Amino acid sequence: MTDQAPDINLLSIETLEEAAACLKVMAHPVRLRIVDILMQGDLAVHEIAELCDMKQHQICEHLRLMQNCGLLSSRRVGRTVHYSIESPHLPSLMHCIKANCITRL
Amino acid sequence: MTDQAPDINLLSIETLEEAAACLKVMAHPVRLRIVDILMQGDLAVHEIAELCDMKQHQICEHLRLMQNCGLLSSRRVGRTVHYSIESPHLPSLMHCIKANCITRL
DNA sequence: ACTATATATCGTACTGTTACGATGTTTCGA
DNA sequence: TCGAAACATCGTAACAGTACGATATATAGT
């Protein structure tokens, strides 16, 4: 005989997958740094690349990934493209990550 | 000539990687469900597996992963093993995830 | 028009994650 | 001590994420 599992409120599969997908996007050191940088002001791709000490095309891909999720937005300024925080949730999420994911969660 | 990147406070690589590793662990729908369940009370592996509608050995691996990170702890009770939240940061992180990663971040 | 700068994309190789069946270990009760 | 239940681990196959060089597109200045 198997004991019955207790009654518990479950989040729906869709909700869980949505949250997991969001966390997956944030679960990369370079993308965390990009968000942290953009929270201090909008910047062009080559400036972000310089601050991250990485090739531009790598930064591009991380930016594209985050833009596709609605986390970031971009606007062209002459030859450069400036990225900025788009999601209003992103700063509070970032603060929470700093508060809870660092020095051994 | 390349314009200089502005002066900006950067989180260290170690900090970023630590935070990313923590997020990676949470970035899975089943593991989110397990944490959500355990926040409502400690349970045995087979009960968690039943609630998640998954095989025991899959749940075991997710539990082990989270226990190895210090997120969960376990104690044996007769034939069963009960898992519980170990990290004091986990509940607040979970609340933040629910608040900021759902319905399109 | 031509060139240099800035950004974006593509194909591919590499690496890590996840699922799954099979097998091993621990504990309880007959 | 034997069998069943509960939990854990292993090997492997499938899959996703990442990095990298090469290449493409867009813009400004000459």
List Cα–Cα distances, A30 to A51, A83, B25, in angstroms: 11, 15, 17
Inter-residue contact B47 to B33 (CB < 8 Å) = no
Question: Can you say how many angstroms the Cα of residue A37 is from the centroid of all Cα atoms in its chain?
Answer: 12
pLDDT for the residue A104: 46
Of B40, B69, B101, the CB nearest to A105: B69
Give the lowest-confidence range in B6-20, B29-43, B63-77, B87-101.
B6-20
Query: Which chain A residues contact residue B30 at CB under 8 A?
Result: 16
Q: Quick check: B5 and A51 CB within 8 A?
A: yes
Q: Is the CB of A44 under 7 A from strand C?
A: yes
Inter-residue contact B34 to B26 (CB < 8 Å) = no
pLDDT for the residue B82: 98
Residue A45 has pLDDT above 50, yes or no: yes
**pLDDT range class, residue B4, cuts 50, 70, 90:** low
pLDDT for the residue B73: 97
Structure confidence by residue, pLDDT tens digits, B19-70: 999 999 999 999 999 999 999 999 999 999 999 999 999 999 999 999 999 9
Nearest to A29 by CA among A52, A50, A49: A52
State the nucleotide closest to A79 in CA–C1' terms: D27
Residue A100 has pLDDT above 60, yes or no: yes
Q: Quick check: A19 and B29 CB within 8 A?
A: yes
Separation of alpha carbons B42 and A4, rounded Å? 15
Q: Quick check: B105 and A29 CB within 8 A?
A: no
